[in-house]
Amino acid sequence: MIQIQIDDLTVEAEADQSVLDVARANGIELPALCHHPALKPAGVCHLCAVETVGKSGRPTTKLACVLQPKEGLRVKTGGELVRQARRHAFEHLLAMAPQSQSLRQMAVDWGVDIGPAPDGCIRCRLCIRVCREVVGPAALTMEKHGALSYVVPLEGRCIGCGTCVNICPTRVIEVGDQDNVRTISIRDEVIGRHPLERCEGCGALFATPRFLNHIHDRIAPHPDVKEQHQYCPTCSKLFSDRVRTAGRRK
Ligand code: SF4
């Protein structure tokens, strides 16, 4: 039997055990994801870093899953060096699996601040700008939550045009038309929910009343132009082609 020290505890270890196994056998928990008792240790996830004294006599970190016990070995499972190594390990793993809820929860459980979960938004603000500068309702804004700002809706302003959906480069804003209702959403948050109007030409559901009214109010009076807003894009095209052809015949 070999005697080693883990934190303030002197424990006995077999030569063929790893420090991770010895720690766990003595009720000292260490995080590890690539370790399995049926398999040889691989030292891949780097989560089980512990502090020990290197050959130079200076403190360093080693992976407990591949560290063999030697008489008089002293390891620390906490402290700044271990915290740094653990944070780097979690960051590295999360870079490969950013959506993994279990990994994120594990980091939180081990006191590692990994920041907010990625939401697919690159904060280009194109949606906010187009809604304010081109469409007009200014239905979106940025709101700070913790370390990051998020695109959020301003209640009641969205008119359901879908322009923000079209301009979003990462497709994090979505539009869904279902049961005569159009829903614009970002992440799990509803930006706007609107009934859909039918095209006066073909009867297809195609636009929201708020959007049609908005266009109606914004465009200068002209009988041909105004009429077209009650038509879906396909019928509008047919309608304008007909108007153009009729104009040429005169
Ligand atoms: S769908 Fe709503 S939030 Fe998006 S651009 Fe149109 S009005 Fe603005």
To the question of pTM greater than 0.75 for the whole model, the response is no
- Output the pLDDT for position 215: 87
Ligand 1, closest atom to CA 140?
Answer: 3
**What is the number of other CB atoms lying within 10 angstroms of the CB of residue 13?**
23
Nearest CA to ligand 1 atom 6: 161
Task: Look at ligand 1, atom 8, and give the residue with the nearest C-alpha.
Answer: 131
Domains defined for the chain, CATH in brackets: 2-109 (3.10.20.740), 117-195 (3.30.70), 197-250 (no CATH)
- Ligand 1 centre from 122 Cα, in Å? 18
Non-local CB neighbours of 47 within 8 Å, separated by 6+ positions: 30, 31, 32, 33, 86, 89, 90, 93
200-226 confidence digits (pLDDT tens): 999 999 999 999 999 888 876 666 555
User: What average pLDDT does this structure show over 116-133?
Assistant: 93
Pairwise CA distance, residues 218 & 229, whole Å: 12
Which atom of ligand 1 is the closest one to the Cα of 163?
A: 5
User: Which of these ranges, 11-20, 82-91, 144-153, 160-169, has the smallest mean pLDDT?
Assistant: 144-153
Q: Please name the residue that has the structure tokens 């969205």.
A: 158
DSSP letter at 133? I
Testing ligand 1's pocket by substitution, the residue of 133, 141, 142, 158 carrying the most ligand atoms inside 8 A of its CB is: 158
Distance 239 CA to ligand 1 centre (A): 26
Give the C-alpha separation, 84 to 81, whole Å. Answer: 5
Q: Is residue 106 very low, low, confident or very high in pLDDT (cuts 50, 70, 90)?
A: very high
Residue 114: its pLDDT value, please? 84
